Amino acid sequence: MIRDFNHAKNIVGYLEKRYGKIKRHTIRDDIEFVKDICDDHNLQQISMMKNRIQASIHSGRDTSYVNNNPVNFLTVLFTVVCSLMFGFITIGAQLVLAYIGHVVNISGKDITIKDLDKMVDSFNLSSLLQVALIPTLGIFIMIYAGILILNSALKKDSSKIHMYDVLIREAYERKRMETTIEE
Protein backbone atom coordinates (compact mmCIF):
# COMPACT_ATOMS: atom_id res chain seq x y z
CA MET A 1 0.00 0.00 0.00
CA ILE A 2 1.59 3.24 -1.18
CA ARG A 3 0.89 6.18 1.09
CA ASP A 4 2.68 8.79 -0.96
CA PHE A 5 0.67 11.79 -2.12
CA ASN A 6 2.27 11.74 -5.58
CA HIS A 7 0.94 8.22 -6.22
CA ALA A 8 -2.61 8.89 -4.99
CA LYS A 9 -5.48 8.45 -7.45
CA ASN A 10 -8.24 9.57 -5.13
CA ILE A 11 -7.74 12.21 -2.44
CA VAL A 12 -10.34 10.88 -0.02
CA GLY A 13 -9.01 7.34 -0.41
CA TYR A 14 -5.46 8.59 0.09
CA LEU A 15 -6.41 10.50 3.24
CA GLU A 16 -8.31 7.54 4.66
CA LYS A 17 -5.42 5.15 4.02
CA ARG A 18 -2.84 7.50 5.44
CA TYR A 19 -4.67 9.02 8.41
CA GLY A 20 -7.59 6.67 8.98
CA LYS A 21 -11.29 7.27 8.54
CA ILE A 22 -12.86 10.31 10.15
CA LYS A 23 -15.89 8.54 11.58
CA ARG A 24 -16.99 9.89 14.94
CA HIS A 25 -14.16 12.41 15.10
CA THR A 26 -14.10 14.89 17.90
CA ILE A 27 -12.83 18.43 17.47
CA ARG A 28 -9.55 17.34 19.07
CA ASP A 29 -9.22 14.57 16.46
CA ASP A 30 -9.93 17.08 13.69
CA ILE A 31 -7.28 19.48 15.03
CA GLU A 32 -4.76 16.63 15.13
CA PHE A 33 -5.78 15.59 11.60
CA VAL A 34 -5.23 19.14 10.29
CA LYS A 35 -1.88 19.34 12.10
CA ASP A 36 -0.75 16.02 10.62
CA ILE A 37 -1.70 17.11 7.10
CA CYS A 38 0.18 20.37 7.55
CA ASP A 39 3.26 18.55 8.87
CA ASP A 40 3.28 15.93 6.11
CA HIS A 41 2.50 18.10 3.05
CA ASN A 42 3.57 21.38 1.57
CA LEU A 43 1.21 24.23 0.64
CA GLN A 44 1.08 23.22 -3.01
CA GLN A 45 0.04 19.65 -2.18
CA ILE A 46 -2.66 20.83 0.23
CA SER A 47 -3.89 23.24 -2.42
CA MET A 48 -4.07 20.38 -4.90
CA MET A 49 -6.04 18.31 -2.38
CA LYS A 50 -8.42 21.21 -1.80
CA ASN A 51 -9.01 21.71 -5.52
CA ARG A 52 -9.61 18.02 -6.17
CA ILE A 53 -12.07 17.69 -3.31
CA GLN A 54 -13.89 20.79 -4.56
CA ALA A 55 -14.03 19.24 -8.04
CA SER A 56 -15.44 16.06 -6.53
CA ILE A 57 -18.13 18.06 -4.71
CA HIS A 58 -19.05 19.94 -7.88
CA SER A 59 -19.12 16.69 -9.82
CA GLY A 60 -21.45 15.22 -7.21
CA ARG A 61 -23.76 18.20 -7.56
CA ASP A 62 -23.82 17.81 -11.33
CA THR A 63 -24.84 14.17 -11.08
CA SER A 64 -27.29 14.50 -8.19
CA TYR A 65 -30.27 14.30 -10.52
CA VAL A 66 -30.68 10.70 -9.41
CA ASN A 67 -31.84 11.63 -5.93
CA ASN A 68 -33.39 15.06 -6.50
CA ASN A 69 -36.97 14.15 -7.32
CA PRO A 70 -37.93 10.68 -6.13
CA VAL A 71 -41.33 11.98 -5.00
CA ASN A 72 -42.08 13.28 -8.49
CA PHE A 73 -40.99 9.99 -9.99
CA LEU A 74 -43.22 8.04 -7.61
CA THR A 75 -46.14 10.37 -8.37
CA VAL A 76 -45.84 9.74 -12.09
CA LEU A 77 -45.37 6.03 -11.54
CA PHE A 78 -48.39 5.93 -9.22
CA THR A 79 -50.53 7.63 -11.87
CA VAL A 80 -49.45 5.24 -14.59
CA VAL A 81 -49.85 2.11 -12.49
CA CYS A 82 -53.26 3.24 -11.19
CA SER A 83 -54.37 3.86 -14.75
CA LEU A 84 -53.26 0.37 -15.71
CA MET A 85 -54.96 -1.12 -12.68
CA PHE A 86 -58.25 0.61 -13.42
CA GLY A 87 -57.89 -0.44 -17.04
CA PHE A 88 -57.62 -4.07 -15.93
CA ILE A 89 -60.66 -3.67 -13.70
CA THR A 90 -62.64 -2.02 -16.50
CA ILE A 91 -61.72 -4.75 -18.97
CA GLY A 92 -62.70 -7.40 -16.43
CA ALA A 93 -66.00 -5.72 -15.69
CA GLN A 94 -66.72 -5.39 -19.42
CA LEU A 95 -65.99 -9.09 -19.89
CA VAL A 96 -68.39 -9.94 -17.08
CA LEU A 97 -71.10 -7.72 -18.56
CA ALA A 98 -70.53 -9.18 -22.03
CA TYR A 99 -70.82 -12.68 -20.60
CA ILE A 100 -74.05 -11.80 -18.80
CA GLY A 101 -75.45 -10.23 -21.99
CA HIS A 102 -74.41 -13.28 -23.98
CA VAL A 103 -76.07 -15.65 -21.52
CA VAL A 104 -79.26 -13.57 -21.54
CA ASN A 105 -79.38 -13.58 -25.36
CA ILE A 106 -78.69 -17.32 -25.63
CA SER A 107 -81.28 -18.42 -23.11
CA GLY A 108 -84.03 -16.43 -24.78
CA LYS A 109 -86.20 -16.66 -21.72
CA ASP A 110 -87.03 -13.89 -19.35
CA ILE A 111 -84.38 -13.56 -16.71
CA THR A 112 -85.43 -12.06 -13.45
CA ILE A 113 -83.42 -9.71 -11.24
CA LYS A 114 -82.82 -12.60 -8.83
CA ASP A 115 -81.24 -14.62 -11.62
CA LEU A 116 -78.98 -11.70 -12.55
CA ASP A 117 -78.03 -11.19 -8.91
CA LYS A 118 -77.09 -14.85 -8.62
CA MET A 119 -75.06 -14.61 -11.82
CA VAL A 120 -73.16 -11.49 -10.65
CA ASP A 121 -72.56 -13.02 -7.22
CA SER A 122 -71.11 -16.09 -8.87
CA PHE A 123 -68.28 -14.01 -10.38
CA ASN A 124 -65.31 -13.56 -8.10
CA LEU A 125 -63.78 -10.18 -8.91
CA SER A 126 -61.30 -10.34 -6.04
CA SER A 127 -58.90 -12.37 -8.16
CA LEU A 128 -59.02 -9.64 -10.80
CA LEU A 129 -58.20 -7.03 -8.18
CA GLN A 130 -55.36 -9.17 -6.86
CA VAL A 131 -53.91 -9.46 -10.35
CA ALA A 132 -53.90 -5.69 -10.62
CA LEU A 133 -53.05 -4.73 -7.04
CA ILE A 134 -50.31 -7.13 -5.91
CA PRO A 135 -47.86 -6.42 -8.77
CA THR A 136 -48.55 -2.69 -8.36
CA LEU A 137 -47.69 -2.74 -4.68
CA GLY A 138 -44.67 -4.94 -5.35
CA ILE A 139 -43.33 -2.51 -7.93
CA PHE A 140 -43.85 0.46 -5.62
CA ILE A 141 -42.12 -1.23 -2.72
CA MET A 142 -39.13 -2.24 -4.86
CA ILE A 143 -38.74 1.22 -6.39
CA TYR A 144 -39.13 2.98 -3.05
CA ALA A 145 -36.59 0.66 -1.40
CA GLY A 146 -34.18 1.28 -4.29
CA ILE A 147 -34.56 5.04 -3.93
CA LEU A 148 -33.97 4.86 -0.17
CA ILE A 149 -30.84 2.72 -0.60
CA LEU A 150 -29.49 4.97 -3.34
CA ASN A 151 -30.17 8.14 -1.35
CA SER A 152 -28.49 6.78 1.77
CA ALA A 153 -25.41 5.70 -0.20
CA LEU A 154 -25.13 9.05 -1.97
CA LYS A 155 -25.73 11.04 1.20
CA LYS A 156 -23.10 9.03 3.08
CA ASP A 157 -20.44 9.71 0.45
CA SER A 158 -21.49 13.34 0.16
CA SER A 159 -21.20 14.05 3.88
CA LYS A 160 -17.78 12.35 4.00
CA ILE A 161 -16.48 14.44 1.11
CA HIS A 162 -17.81 17.64 2.68
CA MET A 163 -16.12 16.79 5.97
CA TYR A 164 -12.80 16.23 4.23
CA ASP A 165 -13.34 19.49 2.35
CA VAL A 166 -13.67 21.40 5.62
CA LEU A 167 -10.59 19.77 7.11
CA ILE A 168 -8.46 20.33 4.00
CA ARG A 169 -9.52 23.98 3.82
CA GLU A 170 -8.53 24.39 7.48
CA ALA A 171 -5.20 22.71 6.78
CA TYR A 172 -4.68 24.97 3.75
CA GLU A 173 -5.36 28.11 5.79
CA ARG A 174 -3.07 26.94 8.58
CA LYS A 175 -0.25 26.00 6.19
CA ARG A 176 -0.66 29.29 4.32
CA MET A 177 -0.35 31.21 7.57
CA GLU A 178 2.68 29.14 8.59
CA THR A 179 4.29 29.83 5.22
CA THR A 180 3.68 33.58 5.39
CA ILE A 181 5.06 33.74 8.95
CA GLU A 182 8.24 31.93 7.89
CA GLU A 183 8.83 34.34 5.03
What tens digit of pLDDT does each residue of 35-79 get? 999 999 999 999 999 998 988 887 766 555 655 666 677 778 778
Checking if the pLDDT of 132 tops 60, the result is yes
Average pLDDT rounded to a whole number, residues 69-93: 77
Average pLDDT rounded to a whole number, residues 117-136: 72
- Res 67: pLDDT: 57
C-alpha angle 26-159-156 in degrees, rounded to nearest 5: 110
Q: Which of 8-12, 66-70, 102-106 has the lowest mean pLDDT?
A: 66-70
Do 45 and 53 form a contact (C-beta atoms < 8 A)?
no
Residue 116, C-beta contacts closer than 8 angstroms, at least 6 positions apart: 100
- Res 105: pLDDT: 66
- Res 1: pLDDT: 43
